[in-house]
Amino acid sequence: MSPDARWLAQLEDRARAVLPAPVLDYVLQAAGDGITASEATQAWRRVRLLPHVMRDVTELDLGVSLLGQHVDVPWGVAPTTWQAGVHPDGELATARATAAVGGLMVVSSNAGTPFDRIAGTGVDWWLQVYLPADRTLAEPMLARAVAAGATAVVLTVDTPVVPVPSQPADTPDLPEPGALRINFDDGYDAEPGADKATDLGPHDLDWLAERTGLPVVVKGVLRPDDARRCVDAGARAVWVSNHGGRQLDRTVATVDALPAVVAEVGGEAEVYVDGGVRSGLDVVAATAAGAAAVFLGRSPLLALVDGEAGVARLHRALTEQVSEALRLTGCRTIADTRGILAAEPAHRV
Ligand SMILES: Cc1cc2nc3c(=O)[nH]c(=O)nc-3n(C[C@H](O)[C@H](O)[C@H](O)COP(=O)(O)O)c2cc1C
């Protein structure tokens, strides 16, 4: 194992030793009994590959095209809040390290750093939004993201309510108010109607596209029929996610939900996946199962313990592992991985 791969495998142990308990609890938090969160990492290990041999794998290309935009690696940083709780440089460190690898960062609408400062790092970035009950309250934040150069908007739809966590701590300390939602107008949280919307529907995709002029991605889809409704309503991509097991416990693992969603809408829209992705081989398993891109939530946060250098090391370790996996499966590109899934019924695409 290379030093970077060993470091990656020990990411959580290292963060446990370094992070203050409330921050660690927040990052690792899982809904309910933590069943979905703990299954997520194991689920990728069930994927079986059928590698090619005798192919020229001297030169590799890890790049992918997402919504018409070239990114140099097939994994991106999923939206996560409270990055400044992990390291004082917060989103800026994540953005700088991700820009350096030519990767994509999805920035939470709850971020603690102004969008224009994140954009100033040169990172390619998309905005993730939670829409409030009163949609108009989100408009200033959306305008700031567009002005700062977000190139897509990701609507998270699996969060009509935030469940009370039971694992690992019952009441993790909340971030300081100033560390969240800095891109909203002052006083946003006290406004009537600032609660998360419980009536999201296909019409919201139109509304977001109109307000931002950006392609809309729907994050938090697990069922092919919902994916179909999203694509019919104009979604340019569907993001298969169970929120890292932080929302509804006992949801299906995303690796098991992915094939049916790809089969339903993969011909018309891009399909992304996240949840429990911890290694380069997990990334390749996901692209082999039909994902156009793979996102990581907790891993970049745990790497952020070491600031920009930590997130850079995460990207380096993943680059090394994905490159190795491509060569060992006889694939030169990410598109080549589509054919390497063993035809087990649960993973056939
Ligand atoms: C600390 C933390 C904060 C998160 N905040 C958001 C958020 O603001 N918006 C969102 O759509 N998802 C959020 N997520 C979910 C991630 O985007 C992603 O779906 C999930 O973490 C993927 O699973 P993984 O952590 O196993 O990689 C958060 C996840 C974590 C761990």
Mean pLDDT of the chain: 94
Residue 13 burial by Cβ neighbours in a 10 Å radius (0-12, 13-18, 19+)? exposed
Q: Which of 288, 296, 294, 289 is nearest to 333 (CA)?
A: 288
Instruction: Give burial (CB, 10 Å; 0-12/13-18/19+) of 294.
Output: buried
Reported confidence tier of residue 27, pLDDT bands at 50, 70, 90: very high
Q: Ligand 1, residues 23, 77, 80: which to mutate, most atoms within 8 A of Cβ?
A: 80
Across the range 33-37, mean pLDDT stands at 95
The domain that contains 222 carries what CATH number? 3.20.20.70
pLDDT band at residue 162 under the 50/70/90 scheme = confident
Count other Cβ atoms within 10 Å, centred on residue 198. 9
| Ligand 1: centre distance to CA 240 (Å) | 12
Q: Which residue has the higher pLDDT, 82 or 236?
A: 236
What pLDDT is stored for residue 94 in this prediction?
Answer: 98
254 CA → ligand 1 middle, Å: 14
Catalytic, out of 87, 243, 315, 347: 243
Q: Which of 246, 247, 295 to mutate to test the pocket of ligand 1 (most atoms within 8 A of CB)?
A: 246
Mean pLDDT of 110-129: 97
Q: Which atom of ligand 1 is nearest to the CA of 156?
A: 11
**59 token code pair:** 């030169």
Q: Quick check: 345 pLDDT over 60?
A: no
Residue 343: pLDDT band with limits 50, 70, 90: confident
Please give the pLDDT value at position 173. Answer: 57
Does the C-beta of 179 come closer than 6 Å to ligand 1? no
What is the share, in percent, of the chain residues with pLDDT greater than 90? Answer: 91
For ligand 1, whether the C-beta of 79 sits within 6 Å is yes
- More confident position, 119 or 163: 119
Per-residue pLDDT band at 170 (split at 50, 70, 90):
very low
Give the residue with greater pLDDT, 162 vs 250: 250
Write out the residue range of the structural domain in which residue 255 sits.
3-347
Test site for ligand 1: of 23, 42, 45, 81, most ligand atoms within 8 A of the Cβ: 81
49-64 pLDDT per residue, tens = 999 999 999 999 999 9
**pTM of the complete model beyond 0.75:** yes
pLDDT(123) > 70: yes
Q: What is the DSSP string of 104-162?
A: EEEEETT-SS-HHHHHTTT-EEEEEEPPBSSGGGGHHHHHHHHHHT---EEEE-S-SS-
Is-catalytic flag, 243? Answer: yes
How many Å lie between the centroid of ligand 1 and the Cα of residue 247? 10
Q: Ligand 1 atom closest to Cα of 275?
A: 23
- The model's pLDDT over 36-50, given as tens digits with 9 standing for 90+, comes to 999 999 999 999 999
User: How far is Cα 346 from Cα 349, in angstroms, rounded to an integer?
Assistant: 9
Q: Give per-residue pLDDT as tens, 53-94.
A: 999 999 999 999 999 999 999 999 999 999 999 999 999 999
27 lines ligand 1 (CB under 6 A): yes
* Ligand 1 contacts CB of residue 220 (under 6 A): no
Q: What is the predicted pLDDT for the residue at 178?
A: 57
pLDDT tens for 241-295 read 999 999 999 999 999 999 999 999 999 999 999 999 999 999 999 999 999 999 9
**Domain count along the chain:** 1
Predicted pLDDT of residue 171: 45
